[in-house]
């Protein structure tokens, strides 16, 4: 047994204190993975570069149910203890405050999702392939990490698997090397990225262009679904243009949509990527709002990442409101109509959630999504069109690739208001009681 030491297991996330470590910050992950689809077996080597923010005689990483074969710190063998979801490491020598160090871990086994109050999350087998859906606790299901949303790092990920399969990783493709019956796919993620936003998709996919335009937009789609996909995602180029005009430039180099050849309950958000199930294609664009929602997360959630899970409305409220903006701009229901509909829906539910701190059990509750969007609608009605959209663009630009909190947003919004906004935010974010819905004839945003 390796006894714990101060900082060894301590996280700063108020909702998920067992995940992550507060004693260091990760700078870079270098992951070399070998995956066998038929047996669902993953072998990996992870080299993690980190900086100590306190003196460390011990530290931890999050990792699921693998067999850890070796741990080294700065090239020297380190003692370790691995229990499900956590590796406790004792370096041969203490790591000084401010020092940069490297942890090398070799591990292997059958990747399985991490079980939690939201179900099983992480690496999951498909009928013929695999996907990763890590929000909020699934990253340790496939690589050792400091699993907290505020510890953003860069990534280099290599995945080797049978050549019959296509591999898509959240990142920019940099190499593809063929071996004897296998192919190695290499992706680089240069923008700071939270572990939960990294993803791997393995399947029998065709790689096709999603839409032309300034932003590279690609798709990985089962060959038999290409025609229906072309129709259902046929306006994606227009959606990208619209969101760039509202929020500012798309924050990454490319965007990839993956359609798994399995049914999925909900689309999956990742950095520079969204994953849909085959059930999200029906030839009628029924689920186009979900495509808008997931693309909006590239600004709200991925470039701007919550510093703590209690601020989740900054992701989901903004993405939901973006659905309403697109609806109004593309000839669907107006924002006012969406707001009225969802206000009536929220009013039928018990008023027992504070949007700014919903609690760990309810942070993905639909009320948080819809009432978060309604809070933005109320803010827009209060400060006016020009100020509201200027606020959104500057919020995105000033916090690009950083972490954010509700308090930061409130302070930012105050700069665009002639009068204090405390009463508005207290009513919509801090108190469970539902305040009156402001009603006004709002024009669709000028995004064309």
Q: Which residues participate in the annotated binding site for Zn(2+)?
A: 293, 297, 316
Q: Any catalytic annotation for residue 255?
A: no
Burial of 127 (0-12, 13-18, 19+ CB in 10 A): exposed
Three-class DSSP category at 396? helix
Q: How far apart are the first and last CA of the chain?
A: 63
Residues 6 or more apart in contact with residue 316 via CB below 8 angstroms: 301, 364, 368, 369, 372
If DSSP codes are grouped into helix, strand and coil, which group holds residue 325?
helix
Q: Count CB-CB contacts under 10 A for residue 400.
A: 15
Smallest CA-to-CA distance from 368 within 342, 336, 386 is with: 342
Q: Give the 3-state secondary structure of residue 321.
A: helix
* Strand 41-52 to 24-36 pairing: antiparallel
In this structure, are residues 64 and 122 in contact, taking their beta carbons and an 8 Å threshold? yes
Q: Quote the tokens at residue 151.
A: 């510890």
CA distance 439 to 339: 9
Q: Exposure string (b/e) for 342-366, b if CB count within 10 Å is 16 or more?
A: bbeebeeeeeebbbbbbebeebbbe
- Give CA 361 to chain center in angstroms: 19
Q: Is 368 helix (H, G, I), strand (E, B) or coil?
A: helix
| Residue 432: cis peptide before it, omega within 30 degrees of 0 | no
Phi first, then psi, for residue 160 (nearest 5°) are: -110, 130
294 assigned to active site: yes
Of 24, 35, 255, 369, the catalytic one is 369
The per-residue b/e assignment along 2-37, b for 16 or more CB within 10 angstroms, e otherwise, is eeebebbbebebebbeebbbbbbbbbebbbbbbbeb
Give whole-number Cα distances, 161 to 146, 252, 282, 308, 346, in Å.
Answer: 26, 27, 31, 35, 47
Per 3-state DSSP, what percentage of the chain is helix, strand, and coil (rounded to 5)? Answer: 30, 35, 40
**Of 294, 321, 323, 343, catalytic:** 294
DSSP character at residue 250: -
The CB density around residue 170, as the number of other CB atoms within 10 Å, is 22
Residue positions annotated with a catalytic role = 294, 369
């Amino acid at each position: 047994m390796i006894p714990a030491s101060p900082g060894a297991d301590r996280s700063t996330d108020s909702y998920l204190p067992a995940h992550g470590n507060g004693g260091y910050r990760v700078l870079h992950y270098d992951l070399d993975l070998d995956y066998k689809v038929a047996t669902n077996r993953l072998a990996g080597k992870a080299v993690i570069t980190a900086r100590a923010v306190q003196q460390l005689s011990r530290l931890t990483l999050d990792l699921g149910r693998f067999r850890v074969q070796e741990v080294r710190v700065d090239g020297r063998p380190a003692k370790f203890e691995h229990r499900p979801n956590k590796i406790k490491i004792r370096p041969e020598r203490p790591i000084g405050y401010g020092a940069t160090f490297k942890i090398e871990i070799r591990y292997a086994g059958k990747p399985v999702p991490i079980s939690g109050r939201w179900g099983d999350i992480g690496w999951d087998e498909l009928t013929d392939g695999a996907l990763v859906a890590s929000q909020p606790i699934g990253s340790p299901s496939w690589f050792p990490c400091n699993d907290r949303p505020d510890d953003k790092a860069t990534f280099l990920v290599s995945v080797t698997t049978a050549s019959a399969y296509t591999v898509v990783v959240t990142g920019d493709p940099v190499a593809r090397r063929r071996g004897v019956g296998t192919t190695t796919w290499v992706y680089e993620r240069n923008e700071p990225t939270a572990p939960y936003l990294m993803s791997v998709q393995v399947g029998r996919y065709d790689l096709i262009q999603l839409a032309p335009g300034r932003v590279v937009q690609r798709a990985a789609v089962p060959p038999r679904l290409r025609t229906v996909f072309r129709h259902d995602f046929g306006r994606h180029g227009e959606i990208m243009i619209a969101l760039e005009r509202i929020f500012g430039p798309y924050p990454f180099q490319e965007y990839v949509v993956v359609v798994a050849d399995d049914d999925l309950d909900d689309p999956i958000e990742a950095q520079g990527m969204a994953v849909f199930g085959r059930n999200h294609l029906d030839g009628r664009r029924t689920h186009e709002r979900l495509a808008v929602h997931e693309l909006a997360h590239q600004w709200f959630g991925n470039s701007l990442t919550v510093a703590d899970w209690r601020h989740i409305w900054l992701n989901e409220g903004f993405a939901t409101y973006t659905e309403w903006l697109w609806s109004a701009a593309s000839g669907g229901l107006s924002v006012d109509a969406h707001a009225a509909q969802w206000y009536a829906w929220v009013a039928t539910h018990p008023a027992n959630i504070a949007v700014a701190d919903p609690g760990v059990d309810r942070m993905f509750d639909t009320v948080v999504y819809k009432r978060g969007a309604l809070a933005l609608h109320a803010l827009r009605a209060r400060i006016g069109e020009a100020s509201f959209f200027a606020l959104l663009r500057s919020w995105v630009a000033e916090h690009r690739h950083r972490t954010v909190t509700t308090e930061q947003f409130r302070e930012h919004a105050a700069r665009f208001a002639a009068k204090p906004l405390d009463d508005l935010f207290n009513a919509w974010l801090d108190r469970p009681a539902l305040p009156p819905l402001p009603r006004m004839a709002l024009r669709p945003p000028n995004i064309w």
